[in-house]
């Protein structure tokens, strides 16, 4: 039996304030939970409605009633598994490879998609501005499909971080030079900006090269969604 | 004053069944409504809570109370404008340029993002399998950011359509050849498959060239989200 206090704790973790207080976060669904269980993330507790569930782990899985899981879940239709994990320590990014920097990304789905893209393209470090949405937000975690276990994510003041970076800082700007015409180096920083306003003035001042994705359609006012733009730019960086 | 029957009609259009019955759909928010008003789409009616609103059109805008707009809206926090438009006739795709084909895309947000990408990359025709989510779904429309006014979208039986296509049919498959090594022609078809299961067996049989996006990360089990994969492949097609 899961206690009322346990349920209350798990539920509180849907809010950033309590995640930071307890240094814990919640993941739901077999795909994400399995990836986290099999990674360096430390398990705090696991709950499932399925007595037969097999995660290939020695961690104890507490079997709970559907109604109990529903109370703990952030989803309208909960999956049959929920895991509580410790928030890992942030690792200092190294500048040997590419680093993605996010300036004030607000949409949890966009952040999740970008984490998944970093995993695909072998980007080990993602550095976010302090006002970027929390990567342990339930919607973000869902969109990562478990790839959060393979990308180091940190939150920091971007001006300070970029000031001390010993590599070129590329930034996505509508008015930037075509990425097709740039020779991308083997290491560098790629800055992506806010969904509505792009890169902030303060961060723009730290960008050494402004790049853009050429447009082929008729419209001249449109922009691309930040996650799809990141997809295209990471592909451009790697294809070289 | 908007009548009870009008409110009822608009509300019913959030469902595909009623959209097809009345040949009408609803768009919300200044960005999308403005794009549609200034396109070839035919306005049925426009409602706004803002007496000062200016869409740069001669169409009548009926001023309604917030409570009335809320009743008509599909959103939890409605915008200040809602438009009802006629569903246009599907235009026959021509094979001079590239055509994107979607096989059983289920997520409205993914479809909306792909429509926006088609607009960006100058893809005029998007052909969807009959079981792909409806492009006039409120969530899809929101994600298109108005670009639906610049892409011709049709729903059809893909086997019949692809059988008669006089161009190469490229399909995205995990096991396909690297897109970096292909010379993409000036015209062709790009097939993207279902979020969970990829391209169906029946459609796979029509694909003449299987392509994939190389992976650089450590994981070997992951795939990319279908919208981000479409972004990368359309960029590859155009950059040549």
Digit-coded pLDDT (tens) for B79-106: 899 999 999 999 999 999 999 999 999 9
In a domain, B93, yes or no: no
Residues of chain A neighbouring B237 (CB-CB closer than 8 A): none
Per-residue pLDDT at B59 exceeds 90: no
Whether A13 is in a domain gets the answer yes
Residues of chain B with Cβ-Cβ distance to A238 below 8 Å are 214, 216
Mark whether B208 and B147 lie in a shared domain. yes
Lowest mean pLDDT among A73-77, B100-104, B119-123: A73-77
Query: Which of A121, A149, A225 to mutate to probe the B interface, most B CBs <10 Å?
Result: A225
What's the whole-number mean pLDDT along residues B132-141?
96
Q: Name every chain B residue with its beta carbon within 8 A of the beta carbon of A30.
A: none
Q: How confident is the model at residue B76 (pLDDT cuts 50, 70, 90)?
A: confident
The distance of A151 to chain B (nearest Cα, Å) reads 10
Per the domain annotation, does A56 fall within a domain?
yes
Residues in chain B with CB shorter than 8 Å from the CB of A180 are: 239
Residue B222: what pLDDT? 73
Interface contact B120-A224, CB threshold 8 A: yes
Domain count, chain A: 2
Mean pLDDT across A78-85: 93
**Pair (A81, A102) in one structural domain:** no
Please indicate whether residue A62 or residue B77 has the higher confidence score (pLDDT).
A62
Which chain B residues have any C-beta within 8 angstroms of a chain A C-beta?
109, 113, 116-123, 145-147, 150, 180, 213-219, 222, 224-225, 227-229, 231-232, 235-236, 238-239
* % of chain A at pLDDT higher than 90: 88
Asked if the Cβ–Cβ distance from B222 to A147 is below 8 Å, we say yes
What count of residues does chain A have? 240
Which band of pLDDT confidence, cut at 50, 70 and 90, is reported for residue B240?
confident
A79 and A105 within one domain: no
pLDDT above 90 for A56: no
Cβ contacts of B119 on chain A, cutoff 8 Å: 217, 219, 222
B221 has pLDDT over 80: no
Confidence of residue B55 (pLDDT cuts 50, 70, 90): confident
Domain at A180, CATH number: 3.40.1280.10
Chain A positions touching B219 (Cβ under 8 A) are 119, 147, 150
- A239·B117 Cβ contact <8 A: no
Task: Chain A: give the shortest CA distance to residue B113, in Å.
Answer: 8
Tens-place pLDDT, residues B174-193: 999 999 999 999 999 999 99
* Beta-strand pair B81-86/B43-48: antiparallel
Same domain membership, residue A15 and residue A70: yes
Q: What are phi and psi of B42, to 5 degrees?
A: -90, 125
Q: pLDDT at position A178, please?
A: 97
The ipTM (two decimal places) reads: 0.91
Check whether residue B177 and residue B115 sit in a common domain. Answer: yes
Q: What is the CATH number of the domain that holds B76?
A: 3.30.1330.30
Q: At CA B168, angle to CA B166 and CA B170, rounded to 5?
A: 140
Share of chain A above pLDDT 70, in %: 99
Which of A21, A56, A86 delimits the end of a domain?
A86
pLDDT tens-digit map of A90-148: 999 999 999 999 999 999 999 999 999 999 999 999 999 999 999 999 999 999 988 99
Q: Per the domain annotation, does B222 fall within a domain?
A: yes
Give the residue among B83, B71, B122, B84 at the shortest CA–CA distance from B100. B122
Given a cut of 90, whether residue B70 has pLDDT beyond it is yes
Task: Examine the domain organization and report whether B82 and B102 are in the same domain.
Answer: no
Distance CA B232, CA B228 (A): 6
What values do phi and psi take at A106, rounded to 5? -105, -30
Nearest chain A CA: its distance from B3 CA (Å):
34
Determine whether the interchain pair B232/A227 forms a contact, defined as Cβ–Cβ distance below 8 Å. no
A221 plus A105 within the same structural domain:
yes
In this structure, the answer to whether residues B232 and B162 fall within a common structural domain is yes
Range of the domain at A16: 4-86
Look at residues A210, A226, A199, A117 and name the one whose alpha carbon lies nearest to residue A169: A210
Q: Is residue A93 in some structural domain?
A: no
**Per-residue pLDDT tens over the stretch A191-230:** 999 999 999 999 999 999 999 999 998 776 678 999 999 9
């Amino acid at each position: 039996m899961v206690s009322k206090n346990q349920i209350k704790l798990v539920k509180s973790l849907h809010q950033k304030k309590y995640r930071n207080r307890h240094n814990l976060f919640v993941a739901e669904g077999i795909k994400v939970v399995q990836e986290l269980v099999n990674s360096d993330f430390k398990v705090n507790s696991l709950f499932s409605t399925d007595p037969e569930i097999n995660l290939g782990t020695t961690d104890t899985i507490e079997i709970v009633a559907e109604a109990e899981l529903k109370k703990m879940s952030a989803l309208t239709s909960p999956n049959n598994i929920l895991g509580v994990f410790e928030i890992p320590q942030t690792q200092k990014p190294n500048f040997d490879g590419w680093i993605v920097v996010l300036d004030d990304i607000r949409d949890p789905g966009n952040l999740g998609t970008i984490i998944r893209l970093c995993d695909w393209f072998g980007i080990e470090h993602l550095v976010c501005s302090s006002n970027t949405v929390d990567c342990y937000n339930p919607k973000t975690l869902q969109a990562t499909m478990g790839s959060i276990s393979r990308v180091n994510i940190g939150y920091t003041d971007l001006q300070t971080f970029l000031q001390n970076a010993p590599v070129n800082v590329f930034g996505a700007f509508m008015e930037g030079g075509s990425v097709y015409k740039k020779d991308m180096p083997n290491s560098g920083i790629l800055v992506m900006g806010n969904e509505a306003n792009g890169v902030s003035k303060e961060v723009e001042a730290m960008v050494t090269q402004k790049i853009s994705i050429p447009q082929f359609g008729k419209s001249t006012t449109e922009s691309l969604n930040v996650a799809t733009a990141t997809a295209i730019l990471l592909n451009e960086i790697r294809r070289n």
